Structure 1
Amino acid sequence: METKRADTVAAQSRFPLREVLLFAAVLLAVLAVYAAMGPAYSTRMLVEAACYAILALGLTIQWGYAGQFNAGVMGFVALGGFCAMFFSFPINPDFWESELPGELGLALLYMIAAVLVVFGATRLDRIGVPKKLRTLLAVILGLVLYLVVVNAFRGVTDQIESRAGFVGGLGLPVGVGWVVGGALAGGVGYFIGRVCLGLRSDYLAIATLGIAEIIKAFLKNSDWLTRGTATVSPLPWPVPGPAEVGFTLARALYLSVTAVMIAAIFFLLSRAYHAPWGRMIRAIRDNEISAAAMGKDINKRRLEIFVLGCILMGIGGAALASFNSMFDPQGYLPLNHTFLVLVMVILGGPGNNLGTIFGAVAVYIIWIMSAPMALYLMDLAMALGAGLGWETPTNMDSRALQARVFVIGLLITLVLRYAPKGLLPEKVRHHG
């Protein structure tokens, strides 16, 4: 027993050789990108990788800590980006100096009243109304009031689009939009969790994927609120922009902000992971029946972890939208904002915060650099083919971009085959 305990302590206190080697490899890759592409391009890559790291940390606590497979990351990223736009973009005087805000507020009051009426109808059984009649009344009221509210909104939104273009923003500091973006994503995650967390993992994935598409469709088609496919730009930064201090320095300052955010999130998650709360979450993940037998509130803890992950996704989405200086609802794609984040978590190691950060940076470097590398190899092949009299194909740039999908697919295949728990697997400390 003493020998086993000594081996466990030695294993836990070993020098982190694998971590050092992997992060050294990432550092060499970053330096190679700086040498090949220049500081401005490379710093931009690192900022975007840092934003994706925040998204990946949100997913790893849902999937790695609690075993919740969220396939709707894109929706929460879009909500964060919307809040970054709405709260930081300058106000639109054409909208605010007219009577349109009052009319829009009245339509919102109609919507709130309709929701309260329908909610009250679902509680009629408490005063003796039969449940079947209660359900029928709630459905009829819901349909009728939905038509009334939609008609009221359509009249106001048509006026907004024709007279003001869209409502504009609130002109508040950028950080306000980031905080509200996390809060809104967490609120939507709470609603989804109350409905969907009782489902099996595969059904939860389908539900979250569908809700993400609903969020994207709403933002894309609400021209009065988001300008739809016309996009909203430029969005302000929380640091001096390129026009003031130059591209490289501005991006370096932005990188410092995201680095501080990651450090704070990493510290808090690590403390929570090693605290009794973290051990309880992992116990629920590994053996739900035993955890319930010990008196743990399974549904409450699942909901906590799901909401926490959604909050981080909203914050990361807000930071990414502000850095891109543009809000484009059509630009949110499952490949870029769900599948890519999933690959980052799988490569780094679900449940390992340090591994997730490594996976985010490594995968994003591969994602960004696979296109120019593929273009370089294609140009070499075409030069060789031209010397041999072959016909040279066109649209090489678009063909090189398609190589990203192939490279990421090959990467995830290799990882699942040779490192199914990630390059930095979760380390569960044993006490004995």
Structure 2
Amino acid sequence: MGDTPQTAPTGALTGVRILDMTRILAGPWATQILADMGAEVIKIERPGAGDDTRSWGPPTITDDGGEDHGAAYFHAANRGKKSVTVDMAHPEGQRILHALAAKSDAVIENFKVGGLAKYRLDYAALSAIKPDIVYCSITGFGQTGPYADRAGYDFLIQAMGGLMSVTGQPDGAPGAEPMKVGVALTDVLTGLYAVIGILSALRHRDATGEGQHIDMSLLDVQVATLANQAMNYLATGTSPGRLGNAHPSIVPYQAFATSDGHVILAIGNDGQFARFCEVAGAPGLAADPRFATNPERVRNRDTLIPILRGIMTGRSMDDWIAQLNAASVPVGPINDIERVFADPQVQARGMQTEPMTPEGRALKGVASPLKLSRTPPIAPIAAPRLGADTLSILSSLLDPSDFDMDRLLTEGVISDLPSGANHTEEE
């Protein structure tokens, strides 16, 4: 584990040090989760520029004193980390990163395949320095295969991995075309799988003393998370199509218009359907052989859904939600993001939080969903200013007789946070 004292609040991963050479979303999402759980995450950034997403604004986010802290996108995936600026193209920068890797438990990077070999920062080079290192590579298509050298982006992978083929209105409906998901879901899922891989490899290292290379591919993750849609194809040989908000295997399980808005009706079994029919004043539907069981409702979807649409428009959204919830029938509104954060359940679960800056100012942020009874996530810490931790981290982890900080600063191998600098993109 990391060999310097930890001053931050303890969490399940306190004492684990992560050397983070990622940017954009998939890699930073993974390391943010590790930081939430107490790991020390040293985020390596380019001097003068940093992670690309530092400039992905507007919008920007301001603290409770009105100070601008830069792009909201960057803050979505980088809380709790320490920013160290190092020029990895410079031989001295490579020496610095070798020294940091030697004192880290895991390294994570999302460069193109082979992109770090020329800097001697690939798995072969770093495992020679620290044989038990856990090294996670995130790429679009993986380290092997005919597409390995291609760049991969979430939107592209959603298309190539099949997700867009089952998302969007069906052919013939207004607005019919394949659609991407409204967030970079493949990146987020890849970040989650990367965390699982890193923690599994650290468990193996603790048991055996062996490090290993984790090869994470966005395309692999997208194929794996096609879930039931993938199995539907493998079971039938027929590719599932787009159904809009409907479900291929459950009916009724989709959006319905009410007299004043839309609700999601998510009926998962025959008992729920029977209770829905009672509330709807149409108990005969549940007794009808065409609709009595879910397989029959799926087969007779085109007959049942128009009937239900006519029924649902007869009452208001709030009436349906109140009456169906009272009958234990799953139903809910389609919330915009403002309504999400105003929802009493979301508020009760503490999903909006206030990461604190080193100056004691509060930002707005989204909380970790992990709720562990013994080792919960640490108190949220704001995403760092570019280079804010360069000197403190390097001074504590590097041999002062081997690295001249003043010379490194003068030569631009590293950069310090300018005196009096604010959280802006011009840092």
TM-score by length of 1: 0.22
TM-score by length of 2: 0.22
Greater helix share, structure number: 1
Higher-RCO chain (CA-CA 8 Å, sequence separation at least 6): 1
